[in-house]
Chains A and B, each alone.
Chain A
């Protein structure tokens, strides 16, 4: 029962943010300079075409009516039709989203595999030259644009060594194995930079955990360091770790857009880029909407795990 109540409270408290976020996505369309119908259909559109687009967009109704029409569609999975291809935008998103999600999971695994152990080790040897070296390297890692790192990986591992496919990999539905192989380099490009961030954040969370009284008690009663660090202190850092992962998901979606463009992967990032080049505003709006929904969902999961892990938050 407790879990239901916890989920319920979290969902309820997320609703105002959800409404405001959808309002922001809706208002994006208002930023189109001049007449949106002309911007969408191009300068040489026929009057009938313009009238149809105006009707589709509901430009004749009031702003509130327009928002309600759009949001009721969006929340039931109807994101409108693409003005360039005439396809349903929801279908386009569903076609592209799996690749982006898989890429993000891969990248998150790489980031955790690098950042967590290094962060813990750094915290254990706090203020030594090893710690300083790691922290400085992590600061440099954070500064590297991950799409540039992707290009460097392409040069070394695709063009020179030929271990992994270069840009423009196979499609996920036709050749899944080759497509997954094509995700290794972009996942490393995303994950290395993410790992550097995780390393720094885990370090500061663990430095705090390791300086607490109960850790000192464990040490005093002779518990082996490995067990103190990896079992007790790390468990006590699980709350900040949940936050760190939440932030990483948000960062990863943003970076994935650019990294997808570098590797020619057909995820929702490159969908946004294509839509931008074709001035397909509905698709751009939908990608922004979906990205925000993924983050809101992640925040919700982090919030629920917080409430479940820490009895002090009710």
Chain B
């Protein structure tokens, strides 16, 4: 085999390896989506039903992931927790986009002073460690999952603002925008929605995937600190927090929620990279 042929084969093998993590990520997110929709049907029992005769059972046919210290079925708690965690992360990211997109476009499109003002506030919000500010906001507003996710949404918004601003600035001098302007297009309905938004949305999508991963870890962190999902409800963070209290009796139980978080965040990051790759105009 010639050197060139072996090189080409090597490249194909590498591509295949790269493809594998992408397909694995699609599979992970597919499973997560199914669980989010069908958590109620898939769960063998109620996530909050206690049975004090069956506490801390190991994995078995009746309880595939065992039971916790209150005799609750861990599989049911994980399945319901998946729905809560993922919907909570989606809420946080939606809030970040709803706040970030219009402000970012305004900063990129508007005059210099508006831009400078907005960017100063963005810098100020970004000078807080995201989790610490989210803890501060949630602790003050009252600890529950909605407040926690509003707080996470607020601390994530600057990432969207910066990106939307940079993208808007890039396209504002493009020919098609000039053309639209020369036809008298302006304002939200005639300019921003038909011309600006579709042309800046792709990088925002990449960012949304990355932020989903961040929001999932934030939910787990805040729920672990009892600032998010409140007992007896389940989320990945809440299940992790509970199993940590009986770590020495059933160490395996902290493994599953952590792995679920890590795998899902990994999948979101890989898909984010993949969207970026697909959108890259230099791609062959």
**Interface residue ranges, A against B (CB under 8 Å):** 16-17, 20-21, 23-25, 28-29, 31-33, 127-129, 132, 136, 139-140, 142-145, 147-149, 151-152, 154-155, 159, 250-251, 253-255, 257-258, 261-262, 272-273, 275-277, 279, 281, 284-285, 287-288, 291-292, 295-296, 299
Contact = CB atoms under 8 A, between A and B. Distances in A.
Nearest to A288: B136
A272 B225 CA distance: 10
Nearest to B257: A148
Interface stretch (B67-75, B93-101, B125-133, B178-186): B125-133
A147 B240 CA distance: 10
Interface stretch (B105-113, B169-177, B264-272): B264-272
Contacts of A261: 224-225
26 contacts: A17-B124, A21-B124, A28-B136, A28-B137, A32-B140, A129-B14, A140-B262, A143-B262, A144-B265, A147-B221, A151-B244, A151-B254, A159-B247, A250-B129, A254-B130, A254-B131, A255-B131, A257-B131, A261-B225, A273-B225, A276-B135, A276-B143, A288-B135, A292-B128, A296-B127, A299-B127
B283 to A, nearest CB: 15
B120 interface: yes
A255 B132 CA distance: 9
A276 B141 contact: no
A291 B129 contact: yes
B92 interface: no
A264 to B, nearest CB: 11
Nearest to A159: B248
Q: Chain A contact residues: over half helix, strand or loop, or mixed?
A: helix
Interface size class of B (residues with CB under 8 A): 35 or more
A136 B254 contact: no
B121 interface: yes
Nearest to A255: B131
Nearest to A258: B221
Nearest to B128: A292
B13 interface: yes
Nearest to B268: A143
A295 to B, nearest CB: 5
Contacts of B127: 17, 21, 292, 295-296, 299
B187 interface: no
Interface in B211-270: 213, 217, 220-221, 224-227, 240, 244, 247-248, 251, 254-255, 257-258, 261-266, 269-270
A31 B254 CA distance: 34
B142 interface: yes
A262 B240 CA distance: 11
